[in-house]
Every structure is written in C-alpha cells, then in structure tokens.
Amino acid sequence: MNVAVVDEGANLVAFVRMDGAWQGSIEIALNPETTAKGHHLLLSSGYAALLRWEQLPEERVMPGMSENLHGSAPDRSPVALVLVDVINPLDFPEADQLLRFAIPAADRLAELKQRAKRAGVPVVYANDNFGRWRSDLSTVVECCREPGCKGAALVERLRPERDDYFVLKPKHSAFFSTTMNTLLRYLGVRTVVLGGFAADICVLFTANDAYMRDFRIVIPSDGVASNDSADRDAVLALMRRVLKAETPKVDEIDFVALAKEP
C-alpha cells in the first residue's frame, strides 16, 4: 500500500493506492491531539486502511500541491461549472413539487453545459449517493433511468459525458468530506458557476462552502429550483446578500468573460 499526502493547511488529503490503482481519498483534520494516532479510512471502493500519522518538523512538510495531481493531469481553467444533485431519483414525498420547477431548470442547465464545453470550461457533477455507498456515477445514472423513476427526465437532459468530473457527496454540501476543493484548486478555478437542486438546500450549502473557500460564486437564477418558486427566490436573495453571489440568468453567463476576470 502506498500513501500520498497533499498538505492543505489544516487538512491533509490522503490518496491511498492499493495494487497499483488509486482507490479513493479522504480529508483528515490534524491537530496536536491527533499526532501519531491511527485513522481508519473507509474508502468508496470497499477497501480500508489504517494509517498512522506523525507530525513532521516544519522543514520536512510536503509541498502543498504538484502540477499534475499525482500523475493525473486535469484540465486547467479559472472557471468551473458545478452541477449539484441533477442526477436524482426524486424518491421523496415532495418530488412532484420540485420536478415541475426542476425540468425547465434542467433544460437551461443543459444549454449552459454545452456552452461551457465550447468555452473549454470543465463540468463537475456533485451528487448524493442516495444510500448506495458502493455506487459510481454510472450506477447512479442507471438507477435514475429505471422505468417509473421520476428523475429520469432530469437524467435525459443532463446525462454526464466521458470528460466530465464527478464528486460523490455524503451530505448537503459538495465540499463536505469530498475532494471538491482539491479538484478545483488543481484545475486552477477561481469562479464557480453553480446550478442544480434544491436551491434552498444542497445548492445553498455548497455555495456557502465555496464562499468560505474564497471562490467567486455565480448562480444562474433559472438554473436552480426548489419545491416552490418563492423559496428559490428567497434563497437567491440570501446568497446575493450574504455570500456575494451573482445570480444572472443562463443567457447572461459569459464563460469567456468570467475566465478573464481576476
């Protein structure tokens, strides 16, 4: 077993490799109390490893970043399009309420995604696992395409492509206990264009965490949806006021212009 560690200040991102293949990653917050204690890592592949950390002298601390993300060089872009929970089975009681607003929002996001691709902007899917902890993105997609699944209409509009990125999230925020921050930093992203569902839950929590990490936030007002349009409008106003988010319509988002801005 090999372990590579990227230093990100208070967090270390540990990439665990077994049998020559990267199996997963996890963020571990270190403090003096955790020095030399073992940490049990449960990876999405089902592998587990017990790691023992030792606090190194300051001069021996590993560099914060490399240019190629440990041999897997991603795209470089100052802007990324992040789609939150757009691959969604909608198997909850209020699904019909959300769906009537989510379908037109998905149509707008599909258009935005194609413009992002033409501008060379990477697309990142941030998705719940919906209780399927062994799932990868293709499994989640196929689950949502099953007959009778209410989320099938969303998948057909926003089905991921081979060159898209995917982050599996365990909770509301796309940043919490995921590699999202590491990925965006390696991509060179400064501005996050954030769309998806629901605007007042997972999009809000993701936008909050993006703000805490000093990303510029752009949220297409017609590319997010909630169970009620009043809820969507209220949370957009909140994010404009508190998170300094910009909330233009999809047609007003210019990826080339965003990439040129500091």
Q: What are the phi and psi torsion angles at 64 (to 5°)?
A: -70, -35
Identity of residue 60? R
Q: Cβ(111)–Cβ(118) under 8 Å? A: no
Higher pLDDT, 239 or 42: 239
Q: Cβ(194)–Cβ(207) under 8 Å? A: yes
Please report the pLDDT score of residue 42 as a whole number: 40
Region 140-148 average pLDDT: 74
Identity of residue 107? D
pLDDT digits (tens, 9 = 90+) for 222-246: 999 999 999 999 999 999 999 999 9
Residue 127 has pLDDT above 60, yes or no: yes
User: pLDDT confidence of 136, banded at 50, 70, 90?
Assistant: low
- Which domains are delineated in the chain? 2-60 (no CATH), 79-260 (3.40.50.850)
Separation CA 184–CA 179 (nearest Å): 9
- Name the nearest CA neighbour of 151 among 98, 104, 90, 95: 90
Please report the pLDDT score of residue 47 as a whole number: 35
Total-model pTM: 0.72
pLDDT digits (tens, 9 = 90+) for 61-100: 334 445 555 545 457 999 999 999 998 888 778 889 999 9
Please report the pLDDT score of residue 59 as a whole number: 37
For the ranges 27-36, 55-64, 173-182, the maximum mean pLDDT occurs at 173-182
